[in-house]
Amino acid sequence: MCGINGIFSNHPESDKREILKRMNDRLAHRGPDDAGIFVQNQIGLGHRRLSIIDTSKAGHQPMVSENGRYTITYNGEIYNFKNLRNELADYNFITNCDTEVILAAFKIWGENCLSRFNGMFAFAIWDNVTNSLFIARDRLGIKPFYYYYENGMFVFSSEIRSLLASDCVPKKLSHSCLPEYLQYQTIHSPNTIIENIRMLEAGSYMTLASGELEIHKYWEPINYVDSSKFSATYDDCKLEVRNKLYESVERRMVADVPFGAFLSGGIDSSIVVALMSKISQNKVKTFSINFEYEEFSEAQYSREISKLYGTEHNEITISADDIIQNIGHAISQIDHPTGDAINNFIISEKTKNAGITMALSGLGGDELFAGYDYFRQNLILHKYSAITSIPTFLRSMMGNTLCKIKPSIQTAKIRNLLKLEKWELENTYPVSREVYFQEELSELFRELGPNQNIVHEIIKSISVNKKWDNTNLLISKISVSEISTYLQNILLRDTDQMSMASALEVRVPFLDHELVEYVLSIPDEFKYPHSPKKLLVDATADLIPPGIVNRPKMGFLFPWSIWMKNDLKSFCENSLNELKLLNIFHESALDSLWNRFLNNDPMVNWARIWMLIVLQKWIQENDIVV
C-alpha cells in the first residue's frame, strides 16, 4: 500500500524532479517506509512506500522491468500474485513482491493482465519504447487515482492534495459540482471538487500515447446480474458463498507485517473476525470504538465476538474531550470533502498506534447482501408501482399532507417519491440516498446551475446495458446502484483517505470480485426472502450467535449531534461564519439551518450541518480559490 505520483510534460528533467519531490512529500503519510523518483525524457514517476509484502529494499519503486523497457509506480495489493508468478516462470524475477508480478504480467499479457488480478490497485506503467503510459484502477475502486490533463501536460496522484502541491494544477473550486456534494455528501467520479481534476473510474484503464488520452472500461458489475444460468439450490448457494468468503479472507491475511481487524460487533465484521480466527494459528487482534454515551456504544457486541473467538481485543474509548482536542487535525487529513470520515480516521490512527500496519474490515457486506433499509424500500416501491397511475397532483397532495402531519427527512423523501412519474429504480434510488433536496439547494446557494441529479444519471447510464432490462434481479440491481455510487464514492474513498492518513492499509474481503460476481447472479428470493442479509446469515450460521444477528442495526456513527450542540458548538459556529465570507451560500440560509439544528428541527440533522463545516475547513486548509 502506497502513494503514487507522475507527470508527463515538456518540463526539464530537473523541474520534474522538483515537482515529484513536492508531490511525494505531500504523500509521506501514505508511505513512510521509502520514497523514489524516476525521470526519463518526458515522463516522471514518484512513489511513497508502505511495506506490506516483501519489506526488503528490493521492493523499491518506481520499479523497472528486467529488460529495462517498463517502469511502474503502484499502489495496492495483488492477492493472487504468487499464483501469477508461477504462470510467469519465464520472467527473471528479482524480488518477492507483487509489484514485479504486475510488470511481468503486463509484459506478457498487456492490458489483459487486468482480468487476471485479484486485488485492489492503482498503477501507472511507462513504456520507453512506444513512449506511452498505461494506467489502471481495480474493479471496485478500492484504490484511488486522480489526474489533471491540460495543454499536453498530464499529472496524476493517489490524492488531490498531492496534485495541488505540484503547483501545476490550479486550485479552483468546482462550483458546478458543489451542489452534488451537499445533495449526496460527495462528488461522484470522474468529477471532483476541483475544476479539471478528474478521477479514473473503477474498473477502468487509460492510455496516454502521442498526446491522445483514451479511457476504457474492463469490468462492470451489471454484467454479472444474470441468473439465466443459475441452477444451484439454496443449500448449494449458501455453501458457495461461505467458501468464496473464506477464500477471500484467507487471501487478505497474507502480509509480512502485524495485522488485525475492525470489530464493531455487527454481522459483517463479526463474520470476518470469525473466519480470520479459523484461518490464523495466532490470536487475531481486534479493534473497536466505544463512547461515553451508551446508546452509541456497541461494546457489548464486540466483546461477545471477541470472547467467542479469543481475540486480542482493543477497545478505543472516545470522549467529547478527545474530539475537541483532535478535530482540527482529523479534518486536516481529509483529501476530498466528505460528510462522514472522521470516524474512520480515529479508529485507523488508534489501530496504527497499537502497532498494526494492516487491518481487515467488514465494509461491503451491506451493499452486497441487502443490509440497508434502502433495499426494502425500493422493493416495496417496485411491488406497489401501480400507485403511480394515480394522478400526480393527488399524490403530491398526499405527500405534502404527510409532511405537515409528521415533518422529518424521511417523510420528505416519501413526498418526493410520490411526485415521481414512474417508480423505476433509476428514479427511486436517487431519492433514497439524498441528504439535501433540490428545493433546499435552491434556497441555500447564491447561484445554482441547471438541475441535474448525478446519481440518477449514473444509474440511467448503467441501465443502457442490455443486462439491466433482461433480468428480474431487482436486489442485484440495487446492489449495483449502491456499488456504483455510495460504496465507491463515499465509503471506499473515506476508508482509503482516512486510513492511509495514518499509514494503515485496510483490506475488504466482501469486495473480492469473485464473491461480488457470484452474489450478483443469485436470485432475489435467496437474498431477501423476508429479512436483510438472510443469505449471508444462513451461510455463516455457525459462526455468529443469534444475539449478533438479531441486534439493532446501528452503523458506525459517533454521537455528533450531542457534541455539535455542546462541546463543539463554538467550533461549528466559527466555521459557519467563515463559510459565509466565501459568498457561496446565502448567509440567512446558513443561519437558519444552524438555528433549526440547535432547536431540534427534524428536517436538519447533524450530517447536513457537518458537511458544510468540513467544506469550509477543507477550502481553508488547502488554500482553494473560490
Highest mean pLDDT among 46-55, 488-497, 555-564: 488-497
Is 529's pLDDT higher than 80? Answer: no
**Could you write out the DSSP letters of every residue in 333-378?**
T-SS--SS-HHHHHHHHHHHHTT-SEEE--TTHHHHHT-SHHHHHH
Q: How many CB atoms lie within 10 A of CB 190?
A: 14
Dist CA 559 CA 152 (whole Å)? 48
CB 345 within 8 A of CB 404: no
Is 299's pLDDT higher than 90? Answer: no
**Residue ranges in 37-170 assigned as alpha helix (H):** 81-87, 98-109, 160-165
Is 1's pLDDT higher than 70? Answer: no
Q: What is the pLDDT of residues 83-92, one digit of tens each?
A: 999 999 889 9
Closest CA to 571 of 343, 376, 325, 346: 325
pLDDT band (50, 70, 90) for residue 526: very high
Q: What is the pLDDT of residues 322-380, one digit of tens each?
A: 888 889 999 999 999 998 788 889 889 989 999 999 999 999 999 999 999 989 999 99
What's the pLDDT score for residue 297? 67
Interval 11-26 mean pLDDT: 95
Is 554's pLDDT higher than 70? Answer: no
Label the pairing between strands 132-137 and 43-49: unpaired
Burial of 493 (C-beta count, 10 Å sphere; 0-12/13-18/19+) = buried
What's the pLDDT score for residue 293? 63
Please tell me which residue, 559 or 362, carries the higher pLDDT value: 362
**Angle formed by the axes of helices 474-482 and 454-462, to 10°?**
130
DSSP state of 91: S
Q: Which long-range contacts does 499-502 make (Cβ < 8 Å, 24+ apart)?
A: 499/344, 499/348, 499/359, 500/1, 500/3, 500/29, 500/30, 500/50, 500/158, 501/29, 501/333, 501/345, 501/348, 501/349, 502/29, 502/345, 502/348, 502/349, 502/351, 502/352, 502/353
pLDDT band (50, 70, 90) for residue 212: very high
Q: What is the pLDDT of residues 171-208, one digit of tens each?
A: 999 999 999 999 999 999 999 999 999 999 999 999 99
What's the pLDDT score for residue 434? 96
Q: What is the pLDDT of residues 392-448, one digit of tens each?
A: 999 999 999 999 999 999 999 999 999 999 999 999 999 999 999 999 999 999 998
> What are the residues whose beta carbons fall under 8 Å from the beta carbon of 183, sequence distance 6 or more?
434, 435, 436, 437, 438, 441, 453, 454
Q: What is the mean pLDDT of the chain?
A: 93
Interval 581-604 mean pLDDT: 97
Question: Cell 451537499, residue?
Answer: 182
Has 177 been annotated as catalytic? no
Is 558's pLDDT higher than 80? Answer: no
> What are the residues whose beta carbons fall under 8 Å from the beta carbon of 624, sequence distance 6 or more?
171, 172, 173, 194, 618
Domains within the chain, CATH numbers bracketed: 2-219 (3.60.20.10), 224-369+495-549 (3.40.50.620), 373-480 (no CATH), 560-621 (no CATH)
> Is there a cis peptide before residue 407, judged by omega within 30 degrees of 0?
no
Q: What is the pLDDT of residues 451-467, one digit of tens each?
A: 789 999 999 999 999 88
CB 163 within 8 A of CB 170: no
Catalytic residue among 2, 97, 113, 168: 2
Is 295's pLDDT higher than 70? Answer: no
What's the pLDDT score for residue 452? 86
Q: Where are the beta strands (DSSP E) in 169-221?
A: 197-199, 204-209, 212-217
CB 2 within 8 A of CB 504: no
pLDDT band (50, 70, 90) for residue 555: low
Is 556's pLDDT higher than 60? Answer: no
Asked which of 281-295, 413-427, 606-620 is least confident by mean pLDDT, the reply is 281-295
**Could you write out the DSSP letters of every residue in 271-313?**
HHHHHHHHH-SSPPEEEEEEESSGGG--HHHHHHHHHHHT-EE
Label the pairing between strands 358-360 and 505-507: parallel
Interval 462-484 mean pLDDT: 91
What's the pLDDT score for residue 557? 62
